[in-house]
Amino acid sequence: MSSEMNNPTNDAALRSFVPVSPESHFPIQNLPYGVFRCAHNERSRIGVAIGEFVLDVTALEDRGFFDQTVLGGRRVFDGSSLNAFLASGHTAWSEVRAVISRLLRDDEPRLRDDAGLRDSVLIPMGRVEMRMPVAIGDYTDFYSSREHATNVGTMFRGKDNALMPNYLWVPVGYHGRASSVVLSGTDLHRPVGQSSPDGNAAPPFGPSQAVDFELEMGFFVGPGSELGRPISIEEAREHIFGMVLVNDWSARDIQKWEYVPLGPFLGKNFGTSISPWVVSMEALEPFRCEGPVQEPGPLPYLSIQGNQAIDIGIEVSLRGEGSDGAEVICRSNFRHLYWSMAQQLAHHTVNGCDVRPGDLMASGTISGPTPDSYGSMLELSWGGQKPVTLPGGGERRFLEDGDRVTITGWCQGDGYRVGFGEVTGRILPARR
Ligand code: CA
């Protein structure tokens, strides 16, 4: 593996000549990838975030900065998505990261001392517009938080039958919809649809009365696999490029009526928001930690040694229309997830299903063990029975028109943060 604990690009002592505050999500230890566009140049390009700047990686490739890596002269950043880079594999990921890390170091003069080069490849973040980082072919959503599954199961089936019998054996998931995955900042209209009728009456049809967020994270698949050839759990890490924050918006009333027997459909596919910066697994390596104990032990194809969880603190804040500020309504952590990303990918492909570069796999709602760590309004308000009191006044059962939901998250290092920025979006009134 290229990504080991002593990876020099992860050294906590590294500093960039680009100023980076301790609270910044984008120190030299992070180097997340995104796709951006400048007002003065219509062409989408690939960049890496560093402090308050974007490093233009497409321009670096144009200048041959990656010619000495395994890529040779092959162009992978000459596009409007990260897909070609994702397809190039973990050796390329690691070598490109090493080149960029060295170039940004405070003791490396090549870029630091070349004002002309700096001006052409370092762009203030305020001057760029972020774009979808990846052309997502397929989107799969898992259900990997035992706490979330237990809470939802308790609400729908009672405490004694909260977890389905398959839950501790199968990383449960379903196929979502890639076309409605949107970038942070995209506002969504309240969906309309059918909900559960009273008795034998016709189902009510209209704007959802139970629009919700789901606090999730997702990963992007790297090289991908061939139809019929599973990715083993040992191989899984080489197929996972990096992660983003995900808000998997949901309409609980539509979901509750439609989900039998085939599962989630229109209550889920009206929008899924992702953050613009993709944090590589290599940057997250120092923050790996033990996950929950898996008992019963998983079947052999899902068994793997070593730390599979990652310590990523995540917060959800809500800002109502006309409100003075956003209020934090949930604090959770990615490490709570019962099923790891490697287990998700191994399970997804064990039947021979192929995956492709840029496929998005989301975790499912990440709820922690305590009520303030529940990752959806459904759980925070316990099915709407216990309204959430907002710290600044007002209350919510589900989301109201004009509500803005913002999710942020980061790994806390010693004096620095490897962060994800944020994913934000607003619920607009239903279209008439
Ligand atoms: Ca979900």
User: Hey, what domains does the chain have and what are their CATH numbers?
Assistant: 3-131 (2.30.30.230), 139-428 (3.90.850.10)
pLDDT of residue 5: 56
pLDDT > 50? residue 340: yes
Mean pLDDT of 29-50: 93
Mean pLDDT of 208-229: 98
Which of 41 and 195 is assigned the larger pLDDT?
195
Residue 1: pLDDT band with limits 50, 70, 90: very low
Ligand 1 centroid from CA 364, angstroms: 5
Amino acid, res. 94: S
Mean pLDDT of 26-52: 94
pLDDT > 90? residue 323: no
What average pLDDT does the structure give for the chain?
96
- Which of the residues 25, 148, 347, 348 is marked catalytic? 148
pLDDT > 90? residue 257: yes
Ligand 1 centroid from CA 355, angstroms: 19
Ligand 1 centroid from CA 143, angstroms: 7
The string of pLDDT tens digits covering residues 73-120 is 999 998 899 999 999 999 999 999 999 999 999 999 999 999 999 999
pLDDT of residue 169: 98
The string of pLDDT tens digits covering residues 134-175 is 999 999 999 999 999 999 999 988 999 899 999 999 999 999
Ligand 1 centroid from CA 345, angstroms: 16
Mapping DSSP onto H, E and C, the string for the chain reads: CCCCCCCHHHCCCCCECCCCCCCCCCCCCCCCEEEEEECCEEEEEEEEEECCEEEEHHHHHHCCCCCCCCCCCCCCCCCCCCHHHHHCCHHHHHHHHHHHHHHHECCCHHHHCCHHHHHHHEEEHHHEEEECCCCCCCEEEECCCHHHHHHHHHHHHCHHHCCCCCCCCCCCEEECCCCCEEECCCCEECCEEECCCCCCCCCCEEECCCEECCEEEEEEECCCCCCCCCCCCCCHHHHEEEEEEEECCEEHHHHHHHCCCCCCCCCCCCCEEECCCEEEHHHHHHHEECCCCCCCCCCHHHCCCCCCEECCEEEEEEECCCCCCCEEEEEEEHHHCCCCHHHHHHHHHCCCCCCCCCCEEECCCCCCCCHHHCCCHHHHCCCCCCCEECCCCCEECCCCCCCEEEEEEEEECCCCEEEEEEEEEEEECCCC
Ligand 1 centroid from CA 324, angstroms: 29
Ligand 1 centroid from CA 205, angstroms: 23
Please say whether the beta carbons of 274 and 217 come within 8 A: no
pLDDT > 60? residue 4: no
148 an active-site residue?
yes
Rounded Cα distance, 365 and 129, in Å: 28
Mean pLDDT of 264-291: 98
Ligand 1 centroid from CA 325, angstroms: 27
Mean pLDDT of 360-367: 98
Residue 57: pLDDT band with limits 50, 70, 90: very high
pLDDT of residue 3: 43
Rounded percentage of the chain residues whose pLDDT exceeds 70: 99
The string of pLDDT tens digits covering residues 280-293 is 999 999 999 999 99
pLDDT > 50? residue 337: yes
Ligand 1 centroid from CA 46, angstroms: 28
Residue 2: pLDDT band with limits 50, 70, 90: very low
Look at 106-115, 153-162, 194-203, 304-313 and tell me which has the smallest mean pLDDT.
Answer: 153-162
pLDDT of residue 390: 87
